[in-house]
Structure 1
Amino acid sequence: MKFAEQAGTRVEPTPKSRATCPFCGAEVLAKCGTQRVWHWAHKSTRHCDSWWEPETDWHRKWKELFPTEWQEVGRRDDNGELHIADVLTPQGLALEFQHSYIKREEIEIRTNFHKNICWIVDGTRLDSTLTQFVKALEMGRPVGSRGTEVYQAYLTHSRFLKQWAGLSAPVVVDFGGEKIWVIGNSLETSVLVYPLKKETLVKQFELGNRPPQVQIEQRRTQYVPLVRSARVPGRRM
Structure 2
Amino acid sequence: MNSNGRTAQAEWGGHDAGGCPAPRRRQTVRSAARPPAGHRPLRRTAERPVPAVRGGHPQAVLRSLLVDAASITDADLNALLSHGWRPRLTAAWLIGISRRTSYRARIGELLLESVVVYAGGGYCFALARFGDHQGAEILTAYLNRYLPRTDLHYDQPVALGALLHIDSRLGTAHAAPFTAPGGLYQGWVDAVTHERERASYAPDQEQSAMDRLCDFADGWSTPDRGHRPPRTEWPNLPERPVAP
Q: TM-score, normalised on structure 1?
A: 0.31
Structure with greater strand percent: 1
Q: Who wins on radius of gyration, i.e. which is larger?
A: 1
User: Could you tell me the TM-score, scaled by structure 2's length?
Assistant: 0.31
